[in-house]
Amino acid sequence: MAASLPGELKGRVALVTGSTDGIGLAVARGLAAQGCAVMLNGFGEPDQVAALCDELATAHGVEVAHDGADLRQEDEAAGLVQRVLQRFGRLDVLVNNAGTQHKGPVEEHPPQRWREVFALNLDAPFHTIRTALPGMRANGWGRIVNVASVYGLAGGVDRSSYVASKHGLVGLTKAVALETATTAITCNAVCPGDVSTRIFYRNAKLLAEREQITRAEAQQRIAATNMPSGRVVSPEQVAALVVFLCSEAAAEIRGAALPVDGAWLAR
């Protein structure tokens, strides 16, 4: 993978959904480090979010703002890009990262939770993409990266809505890539396996308490369950791939669903 050139995205504007922690925050940091102004989106205490914006802006010398849109709500998801345009005047990079899941057998899956999972994992990217594309077409350049999952390429037990919505997101990625294939706008998906986010560490903590083992042992056991490498992916590794997909080196990567999964899907 050719590295992005330092400052390659200088003057560009990015929107990263679900970016107040985890993968989204790592992506926002990576884009800001390339000179990109960033609109953060996600939940958090106002003081903490404001401090995060100041930290990113100071560290990288770019403009950083935050929009707290609840992307489960259609009107807020549909209006988010317009608010980015009002704030920054343009949008060049769209990273759809916000997501949620429900775990349990399909016959016990609450219909309301099914709708919420699809609203955030698939409907929200549809709304941000459809509202971002006109401006990208007018500017003659754009990058759309959807954060899917290995579950967008394979099945899984007790996560029917997550698997179905992430498969849908990979399909949306391919459709948009074909519709923009003759332009300088690309659309791709990244498909992480287990990532060392708050959810991973919380699950490891619960396993350690239940099995009376150390947290390090619990983390290794969880990682080895799915990842042949025996290691989880870091948010920074996912972010590096997203940043690469925004570079000119990746200009002809279109409609790809790229795993970052420790050989999960190689089996």
Catalytic machinery residues: 162
- Hey, what are 86's tokens? 């009002």
Distance CA 214, CA 205 (A): 9
Residue spans of beta strands (DSSP E) within the chain: 13-16, 37-41, 64-67, 93-96, 142-147, 185-192, 257-260
- How would you classify residue 25: left for phi > 0, otherwise alpha for psi between -120 and 50, otherwise beta? alpha
- Which residues pair with residue 208 across a beta bridge? none
Strand partners, 93: 14, 143
Cα atoms in the Cβ-side hemisphere of radius 13 Å centred on 159: 15
